Amino acid sequence: MAKKNLGDIEDNNKNLGGVSALFNSPLKESPKKETKPAAPAEEEIVTYPLRMKKSALKALKIMGAQKGITVKELIMSVVEKEYDL
């Protein structure tokens, strides 16, 4: 349903107070965009699907929970150590 402009319907009528607030859209102010400091240069990150046995993933999840790190961090640390990346 289209919004209707009721104009100044509230003028001189105490029973209709706030009607224009219900039907008229508020003025939209464009908020000033905050400039964020540039993030330090990082390497581009890409996704790569990895297939593994359910039992291996379960073991990695348990190990990660014990050490307080994610499965991704566990896998990446092993790959970096193995291949000197």
Domain ranges of the chain: 50-85
pLDDT tens string 41-64: 788 888 999 999 999 999 999 999
Q: Which residue has better confidence, 77 or 40? A: 77
Q: Is the pLDDT of residue 3 over 90?
A: no
Determine the pLDDT at residue 26.
60
Residues 7, 11, 16, 17, CA torsion sign: positive
Q: For tokens 């150590």, what's the residue?
A: 81
Mean pLDDT value of segment 61-84: 94
pLDDT at 14 over 80: no
Cβ(21)–Cβ(9) below 8 Å: no
C-alpha–C-alpha distance, residues 40 and 29, integer Å: 32
Per-residue confidence (pLDDT) for residue 45, from 0 to 100: 85
pLDDT value of position 79: 93
What region does 5 belong to: left with phi over 0, alpha with psi -120 to 50, or beta?
beta
